[in-house]
Amino acid sequence: MGLMSDSLIEIAHKLGERVKELNCLYGITRLVEQPDMTLDEILQGVVELIPPSWQYPEVTCARIKLAEREFATGNFRRTRWKQVETITVDHTVAGHLEVYYLKAMPESDEGPFLIEERHLIHVLAERLGHIIEQKNAEERLHALYEQEKTLRQRLEREAQRRIDFTRDLIHELKTPLTSLLATSQLLYDEERGDRLEKLAGYVLEGASSLNERIDELHDVIKGEVGSLKLDLKPVSLEELLRSVAEETRPLAQQVGCEVRLELSGGLPPVNADAARVRQVVFNLLNNAFKYASGSGEVVITGRAEDGKASVTVTDRGPGIPEQEQKDIFLPGYQSERDRTTAGLGIGLALCKLLVELHGGTIGVESRPPGGASFFFTLPLVA
């Protein structure tokens, strides 16, 4: 009976030691999981969890010693009864975990220490290395996030300054231009000789062209800041395309082109802002006339499929080099061939903006020297 009782006592003792070890590991997990816990707070917390996990808590002290930092229990003192384990961070020795008994205790597996305590200090040192690596990674990630946040804020401020400057510039240009347009219109309407009529026509044409470029620039700026609004209604795309084709025939004839309209069956109505869609088609046609001069015809095709309408404007001009096609819709972009012509390089950018505001897509296909096809889609009326 006495032997059985002694065995039970020994088993209970060993179980108690294992429970203390598990409590230590669980306590570390809880420390790490606490939000906003700094690495220093975690390391100090780990040190405080160690003494209760050893066989003689009342005479146990501990210390975590890193290169430039040290964390110890309040009763810490170095003695000759110790266990030490290396802490490795990112495959490099970063410090040591030390456990001391403050006085001599009965001999066990490793001096006064249990072999299980050697296993535990090894696990603790390994876990500390992982914790330090994780916290260092979090700090680096946080620093990168703060850098990105600062950069984003700076870019946003710079973008807003550019928008504010452009708005001021538009206002400054519009004020004298409005007066110039009114005056040139009056001059053009007055009775005058052929030469004066021609000069007045040049002034009116130039002022009108400048006014259109300013309006386009203003639309692009409004689109960038989200203040450009559409008046969406059911629109007969077929009627709109026929009207635009007819209106632009005189301009096409001036540059030696013909406008041909190809519609696949009756086009169903689209959900769109008619004025803005006309603006897109006009811009694409003007672009086609500029490069298809004297080369035959410009073709407008329209079809409906998969819940959307598709419009394509094709010219037989020199085409667009492949390396330019990816940038052609960017605001201000001008190819080498554009630099000899008037314009700000925002006509196609405005087309892209207006089409995408409608929920459609726009693109270009070109295989020089076989001309270019600009196409865009619009949603059909549901």
Q: What is the pLDDT of residues 279-315, one digit of tens each?
A: 899 889 988 888 776 667 899 999 998 889 999 999 8
272 or 189, higher pLDDT: 272
3-class secondary structure, 359 = coil
Helix/strand/coil percentages in the chain, nearest 5? 55, 20, 25
Matching CATH number, 233-379, of 3.30.565.10, 3.40.1190.20, 3.30.365.10, 3.40.50.1000: 3.30.565.10
pTM for the whole thing? 0.49
pLDDT at 343 exceeding the cut of 60: no
Q: Are strands 92-101 and 372-379 parallel, antiparallel or unpaired?
A: unpaired
* Block residue for tokens 């598709």: 310
Q: What is the predicted pLDDT for the residue at 29?
A: 86
Q: What is the predicted pLDDT for the residue at 206?
A: 64
3-state secondary structure 257-297: EEEEEEECCCCCCEEECHHHHHHHHHHHHHHHHHHCCCCEE
Q: What is the residue extent of each domain of the chain?
A: 2-146, 162-224, 233-379
Q: What is the pLDDT of residues 237-275, one digit of tens each?
A: 999 999 888 888 888 888 888 899 998 777 899 999 998
For 124-136, what is the mean pLDDT?
Answer: 91
CB 216 within 8 A of CB 279: no
The answer regarding whether domain 2-146 maps to CATH 3.40.630.70 reads: no
Which of 281, 364, 287 is closest to 324 using CA atoms? 364
Q: What are 366's two structure tokens?
A: 């070109």
Measured torsion, CA atoms of residues 241, 242, 244, 250, in degrees rounded to the nearest 10: 150
pLDDT at 105 exceeding the cut of 90: yes
pLDDT at 173 exceeding the cut of 70: no
From CA 41, how far away is CA 106, in angstroms rounded? Answer: 34
- What is the pLDDT of the chain when averaged over all its residues? 82
For 77-106, what is the mean pLDDT?
Answer: 94
Share of the chain above pLDDT 70, in %: 74
